[in-house]
Amino acid sequence: MDFGAQDDIVRFLASLDGGAERIATTHISIVALCRTRAYKLKKAVRFSYLDFSTPGRRLEMCEREAALNMRFAPELYLGAHRVTREADGSMALDGAGEMIDAVVVMRRFADADLLEQIAKDGRLTHDMVESLARRVAKTHDEAAPDYERGGAAAMRRVLDDTALSLRHAAAASAKEIDAFVARLGDALDAQAPLLDRRKAQGKVRRCHGDLTLRNICLFDGAPTLFDCLEFDDEMATIDVLYDLGFLLMDFWRAGWPAFANLAFNRYLDACDEADGLPLLPFFMSLRAAIRAHVEASQGNGERARLYFGLAMTLLAPAKGAVIAIGGLSGSGKSSVAAALAPSVGCPPGARVVNSDRIRKRLFGVAPTARLPQEAYASEVSAKVYGEMFNEAARTAARGWPVIVDAVFDRPEDRETIRTVAERAGAPFLGVWLDLDLARRAARVDARIDDVSDATHDVLEAQMQKATGAIEWIKLDASKDRETIVAEIKTAFDLAFLAPVPDVFPDAR
């Protein structure tokens, strides 16, 4: 493999730490993957958005990359090091000779531990995705607001640069690119006030900037972000939802809409970003468009076209809706809500508001932690339902679909959620999952580390309550989940439900 002027340096790096198992390359980096270490060399290139053209500049950017990534993965990054030419002509790391290049040194992890590979192998779990979403939320929460960068003007520059790159790389036909860019421009114009408002609220922060599944690994059992965007503060200091949008787009691109929706919901459980929901179609579409021109510039025409097609699909307007799923404990409300959510509205699907999660949040405990009986007192439940109604109202009012998952055994609660939808001008569907006590008890017995604290005593007590006349659609909850979801989708007004795109059917 020819690396030009850096060929000798690559061979030197490949000789370290027992020898390189393989050499990985991107359009800006060469990585020698050795036994316990990875040595990342920046290519001697200069583009409009980065300059790695001199050894001094590469050292500066290596130091910057190591420092920035310490925030995301201190357990992975071991620092930046100089490559020196010694008096005898040999090379060394941080030797006494002249510096000829620089590298970032990382602890090595197995290729099989990349999140994209884990997902392709069918090893990705809900717990991993939930942990990842919480970790992303934590990095956003810990970053300081930047009131100078970001906003509509910054996104306009990104859009202009992306349009130019799409045309230069010929990621699609000129006519298709022009039409798509016009649609993106219209979306940006419509959301410009919201972008500027969020900037003023401190929602623009120094983020990861390149949050794809290829830049996340499982290290020491935890999803770990690495390889953040280091070469341009402007490109990485962005609205936090634009950062999240890259991850959601990548899950969707890879054919895992359920994981995209799960990450979306767990992130919103951790961060109050409901006001920014109308931005997600624009953010996700723009992220896909950027990947389209990157793939095209690297000669990957087929992948470029697929990303471009995805970008057009993702730029779908969000539409508000409220779907309430009720039923006594053990009827399968939460599993049905989670299975339904990815297919409701535009990607990444509906916001799911769950009464059990709200209760745990109010008490400051983990979702699967068990609460004492007093946490279920009537006055506490009234507060939980109040929070649930408020969150559903805020989501629907912003034109985003919401699925509300709670028992809803009281007539007044069923009436309140219907009123929430009415005031938001959103379509409403109430669904009651019906199941006998014996089968509900069996499901409760089978739960492990569940969000619900329901016990047999709770099930018995619920049977004694007067639910009043339930006018919602009643479904037999003994059926399999896929059948129930299909029945709900059929019952609902499909005019406002966007179909789930299967843009990458062969990427699984």
Residues 387-443 have pLDDT tens digits of 999 999 999 999 999 999 999 999 999 999 999 999 999 999 999 999 878 888 888
Residues 160, 163, 166: CA angle, nearest 5 degrees: 150
Structure tokens at 413: 């609660």
Residues 188, 194, 198: CA angle, nearest 5 degrees: 120
pLDDT of residue 503: 42
Residues 63, 66, 70: CA angle, nearest 5 degrees: 140
Residue 378 burial (10 A CB sphere; 0-12, 13-18, 19+):
exposed
Nearest to 215 by CA among 68, 113, 332: 113
How far CA 299 is from CA of 28, 122, 163, 296, 352, in Å, comes to: 15, 29, 18, 5, 40
Asked if 212 and 182 touch (Cβ cutoff 8 Å), the reply is no
| Domains defined for the chain, CATH in brackets | 4-108 (3.30.200), 115-314 (3.90.1200.10), 321-496 (3.40.50.300)
| 351-354 vs 401-405, strand pairing mode | parallel
Q: Higher pLDDT residue, 331 or 351?
A: 351
How far CA 53 is from CA of 5, 46, 411, 432, 485, in Å, comes to: 11, 6, 69, 64, 55
The per-residue DSSP string of 192-244 comes to HHHHHHHHHTT-EEE--S---GGGEEEETTEEEE-----S-HHHHEEEHHHHH
The band of 465, judged by pLDDT with boundaries at 50, 70 and 90, is confident
* Residue keyed to tokens 């939808």: 421
The set of residues, in sequence order, having a beta carbon less than 8 Å from that of 276 and lying 6+ positions away, is 194, 198, 203, 239, 241
Using DSSP, state whether 238 is helix, strand or coil: strand
Please provide residue 23's backbone torsions phi and psi, each rounded to the nearest 5 degrees: -115, 125
Tell me which H or E stretch contains 126.
helix 126-142
Beta strand residue intervals within 43-125, DSSP E:
46-47, 50-51, 77-85, 91-93, 98-107
Determine the Cα–Cα distance for residues 62 and 452; give it in Å rounded to an integer.
47
| Mean pLDDT within 445-451 | 81
Structure tokens at 337: 């809500």
The band of 493, judged by pLDDT with boundaries at 50, 70 and 90, is low
CA atoms within 13 Å, Cβ hemisphere of 423: 12
Asked if 208 and 228 touch (Cβ cutoff 8 Å), the reply is yes
10 Å Cβ neighbour count for 164? 13
- pLDDT single digits (tens) 96-137: 999 999 999 999 999 999 999 999 999 999 999 999 999 999
pLDDT of residue 1: 41
- pLDDT single digits (tens) 7-31: 999 999 999 999 999 999 888 899 9
Determine the Cα–Cα distance for residues 396 and 351; give it in Å rounded to an integer.
9
Beta strand residue intervals within 396-454, DSSP E:
401-405, 428-434
The CA-to-CA distance between both ends of the chain, in Å, stands at 30
* Residue keyed to tokens 């095209």: 296
Nearest to 100 by CA among 38, 60, 54: 54
Helices within 227-275 (DSSP H only): 233-236, 240-253, 257-270
pTM of the shown model: 0.91
Determine the Cα–Cα distance for residues 330 and 48; give it in Å rounded to an integer.
57
Looking at every residue in the chain, the average pLDDT score rounds to: 91
* Residue keyed to tokens 């401190």: 202
Give the percent of the chain with pLDDT over 70. Answer: 94
pLDDT of residue 4: 58
The band of 506, judged by pLDDT with boundaries at 50, 70 and 90, is very low
Q: Is the pLDDT of residue 263 over 50?
A: yes
Going by the DSSP 8-state scheme, the letter that residue 404 receives in this structure is: E
Determine the Cα–Cα distance for residues 50 and 231; give it in Å rounded to an integer.
6
Asked if 475 and 486 touch (Cβ cutoff 8 Å), the reply is no
Produce one character per residue of 241-259: b if its CB has 16 or more CB atoms within 10 Å, e if not: bbbbbbbbbbbbbbbbbbb
Using left for φ > 0, alpha for ψ between -120 and 50, and beta otherwise, residue 239 falls in beta
- pLDDT single digits (tens) 306-350: 999 999 999 988 889 999 999 988 889 999 999 999 999 899 999
10 Å Cβ neighbour count for 475? 23
Measured N-to-C along each axis, helices 280-297 and 174-200 cross at an angle, to the nearest 10 degrees, of: 130
pLDDT of residue 328: 86
